[in-house]
Structure 1
Amino acid sequence: MNYIIDPPAQPSLPVTGSAQRFPIRRVFCIGRNYADHAREMGASVDAAAPMFFCKPADAVVADGADVAYPSITTDLHHEVEMVVALAAGGSNIAPEAANALIFGYGVGLDLTRRDLQAQAKAKGHPWDVAKGFDHSAPVSALRVAGEVTLDDDSVLRLSVNGELRQQTRLGEMVHGVPQIIAALSTLFELKAGDLIFTGTPAGVAALQRGDHFHAELVGVAELDANII
């Protein structure tokens, strides 16, 4: 096919143990999926109505590359999250069918321009500029689902400059992965290549230029990178 301009590069992630890469279609995120994080943000959790937002696929930072400190903010926050990658999708997916759609798991950061988010909240405006900016989604290599054993006691954590900032058990999620996939599929037709950020626990805080972060979904995926 001939295009009038060169098509953009396909965002992708490495796959642990493979030379092949995972192409990224869309990036979905769930907000307030850990009650302790909702409390620290002065919010509450509505378990009956999960809250979703999106990031552009090209916001993903792969391969442990440096993460550029974004413009128009003085309060860049880290939010460590388990990331789920889909090998298939659909609409109105039943929770019991959701796990069969998963390609693999990783760990990532939902970087947030917290000052811009606070301004948007105060005015009742959307959060897009606070969440969907360039380089706002560093993600690890993906581990194929068949190689992974996850349960309620699986640990998600983040350290910055060697100091533990965030840590939780996956069992603390308000909505589990099957429930997230099912709820998303009522709003969007999910497809292969979609990434889902599954929420962050308490402990979010500021990152500065020169910081080094280490994110880990223990036994599954790790991500190291620098803020520049």
Structure 2
Amino acid sequence: MAIQVVHFLHQDSPAWGVVHGRRVAPLSRRYDGTAGFVGEGLEEAWASTPAQASLELDTLHLLSPVSADRQFLCQGINYASHVRESGMDPDKIGFNTLFTKASSSLAPARADIVRPSHVRLLDYEVELGLVMRRPVTGPVEVTPDRLHEWLAGVTIVNDISARDVQLPQTQFYKGKSYRGFGPTGPFLLLLTPDEWRRWPELRMRLLVNGQLRQDAYCGDMIFKPHQTLTELSALHDLQAGDLIATGTPAGCAARAPGKLAMWMMRHVLSDATKWRLFIQKGLSNPAYLQPGDVITAAIRSDDGALDLGEQRNRVVAP
């Protein structure tokens, strides 16, 4: 059965524990970040029992289950619904879009999100995060039935994005890497080999001020986890504890313009004019995040057997 692991402050030091109901059983060792826990602490976590749960979950100061010394890799346009709302045809997505996000953007699941003073089009993206179990230092062929050999667990990621930086400047890294733009957790959910087969059943939901914005199953991914791991292994070294955010479904604040506007933007308008109009239109879109907004995000299976917890983040001014 899957277990929920938390990373938290205990007596002013980072610690790890296993959630049992609303209580937490602290692990006996102080594992060094996510790499240390994944490399040395999984056996102790799986052996945890409710009798060892001595702490109240609701009183703990939770940290991101992915520590800032890990790599933060991402997939873009990986859900057909999001591809369509971006003005593209999912059937014409012939390649996996991969990019990085600064690990310094990682934040706890209940941290405030500071909207930089120059950012006006702040967006949200709920995503399933994959956490590596072991290093990958050369090409490997990962199959769907062997995910448990390469991945330790899954977590919630909110890929906060400054669209007025990301899109006009065509810089995914810059527009998505401000500090605090990567709320992660609250739980790192460890799965059994059989449970790894259920990842497509995980349902992602994101609300802003109680209004449902995103609601989709992870099975709608275009490029599945085993395909992405296989492709990444030929490009890029991965280490235990590294995070891969697997893309977001429809429902973001950013929307593609209509077909006529798209044609005008591609064939008539200069880049400067195109992006000035994009920003002007975006400023009238109430879906973009404003200081005071509260984002809640959850990922779980419909039967509740696989539950990654819930994030709750408030947007604040600098």
TM-score of the pair, normalised by structure 2: 0.62
The within-5 A match list for 1:46-57 is 47-57=93-103
Structure 2 CA distance for partners of 1:151 and 1:87, relative to 1, 3 Å: closer
Three-state SS of the structure 2 residue aligned to 1:106 is strand
- How many residue pairs match? The answer is 213
Structure 1 residue identity aligned to 2:142: P
Q: Which structure is larger by alpha-carbon Rg, 1 or 2?
A: 2
CA–CA separation in structure 1 for the residues paired with 2:181 and 2:173: 11
RMSD: 2.3
Q: What is residue 154 of structure 1 aligned with on the other side?
A: 202
Answering whether residue 183 of structure 2 is matched by residue 183 of structure 1, we say no
| Greater relative contact order (CA < 8 Å, ≥ 6 in sequence) | 1
CA–CA separation in structure 2 for the residues paired with 1:75 and 1:47: 26
Three-state SS of the structure 1 residue aligned to 2:169 is helix
Structure 1 residue identity aligned to 2:311: L
Deviation of 1:72 (Å): 2.1
Three-state SS of the structure 2 residue aligned to 1:152 is helix
Match of 1:43 among 57, 69, 88: 88
Structure 2 CA distance for partners of 1:44 and 1:194, relative to 1, 3 Å: farther
Q: What is residue 130 of structure 2 aligned with on the other side?
A: 84
CA–CA separation in structure 1 for the residues paired with 2:293 and 2:123: 12
Q: What is residue 223 of structure 1 aligned with on the other side?
A: 311
CA–CA separation in structure 1 for the residues paired with 2:106 and 2:177: 10
Q: What is residue 243 of structure 2 aligned with on the other side?
A: 195
CA–CA separation in structure 1 for the residues paired with 2:116 and 2:206: 20
Q: What is residue 258 of structure 2 aligned with on the other side?
A: none
Three-state SS of the structure 1 residue aligned to 2:192 is helix
CA–CA separation in structure 2 for the residues paired with 1:15 and 1:77: 32
Three-state SS of the structure 2 residue aligned to 1:209 is coil
Query: Is contact 2:112-2:180 (8 Å) kept?
Result: no
Answering whether residue 148 of structure 2 is matched by residue 61 of structure 1, we say no
Q: What is residue 7 of structure 1 aligned with on the other side?
A: none
Indicate the structure with greater helix content: 2
The within-5 A match list for 1:71-110 is 71-90=117-136, 91-96=138-143, 97-110=146-159
Structure 2 CA distance for partners of 1:44 and 1:16, relative to 1, 3 Å: farther
Q: What is the percent sequence identity of the aligned residues?
A: 29
Greater Cα shift, 159-168 or 213-222: 213-222
Q: What is residue 212 of structure 1 aligned with on the other side?
A: 294
Structure 2 residue identity aligned to 1:224: R
Instruction: Mark the runs of 5 or more structure 2 residues left unpaired by the alignment.
Output: 1-13, 20-24, 35-66, 254-287, 301-305
Deviation of 1:202 (Å): 0.3
CA–CA separation in structure 2 for the residues paired with 1:116 and 1:64: 25
CA–CA separation in structure 2 for the residues paired with 1:86 and 1:15: 19
